[in-house]
Amino acid sequence: MLQQLPDPTASWQLERTQLLQFGSGVDEHCWYSENGCCFLYTDLRWDSAFFKRPMAKLRAILFDSARNLRAACRSFTRHLASLGIQHCITEIPAEDTQVLQALGHSEWLLVETRLQYVHEHLAALPPERYAVRSAIPQEQTLLSSIAAENANPFDRFHADPFFSKVEADAFLGAYAAAAVNGYCDDVLVPDEIGIPLDSFITVNYQQVHTATLGLKIGRPVVMAVGPQNRGWSRKLLAEALHRAHEHGVEAIVSTTQATNKAIIRNKEKLGFRLAAVTHILSWSGR
């Protein structure tokens, strides 16, 4: 995704190391099908506790042929069911058509299409600044309500029939509360006289898995904008970029749904470029 890696082989070396070490970490599992395919997946402990149902995430599949892959995917879903896992998600690059087709034949559902953007020129941001501040823990109830009441119907939770709308809204509310209590590095909110607090953006100034590359790469994670703060999505995103630059961040990666045309326009105006397209698929055992 990034054009300016210090070593063009660094990202591949990191991925290779992670693959070779996968299975040694907590909640990491390697499952082999009878025909030799390997499925790498993790338990989603936080999600499982919140939704009170065992959940997992498929991280990667290693396979040698499309025919073997299709049969192996069906076996993998049976494996998940045998463990009592009720829900599993995965994120697949749009180019991996064989994997997408094999999972589709195994009753995995497409629940979201994501556009992966990157911004590598934070020193050249538009100079205009906006009045924002960091949210405080005492505002967690309000931020939770903003998140729950202004959800995107096309995000992976609201688009997945496994979750009810009440559950999906509550999850976003819980995430917002966790973010302002330290789960994210910062939560920015409007700080303009006469403007009520009805929006926020959460930001991480360093993604843990990129630190070993010698890069400081940040990510805005969740943004919600209520009716009293119309027009603040671009302002909050712009300020998140400025704050990231002030924290020494070298690049920002950011994800949005392919259906979110307003955010796409804002990102393009702020200098983001499209780096990749991915699909979120889910399997439900219930």
CATH of domain 10-114: 3.40.630.30
pLDDT of res. 21: 74
pLDDT of res. 253: 94
pLDDT of res. 76: 97
| pLDDT tens for each residue of 208-260 | 555 556 678 999 999 999 999 999 999 999 999 999 999 999 999 999 999 99
| Prediction pTM value | 0.88
Pick the CATH number of 119-278 from 1.20.1050.10, 3.40.630.30, 2.40.30.10, 3.20.20.70: 3.40.630.30
Same fold, 10-114 and 119-278: yes
For the chain, the domains span 10-114, 119-278
- What are the DSSP E strand ranges found in the chain? 28-32, 38-43, 55-62, 87-93, 109-119, 132-134, 186-190, 199-204, 217-225, 251-257, 273-284
Average pLDDT of the residues in 36-50: 95
pLDDT of res. 216: 86
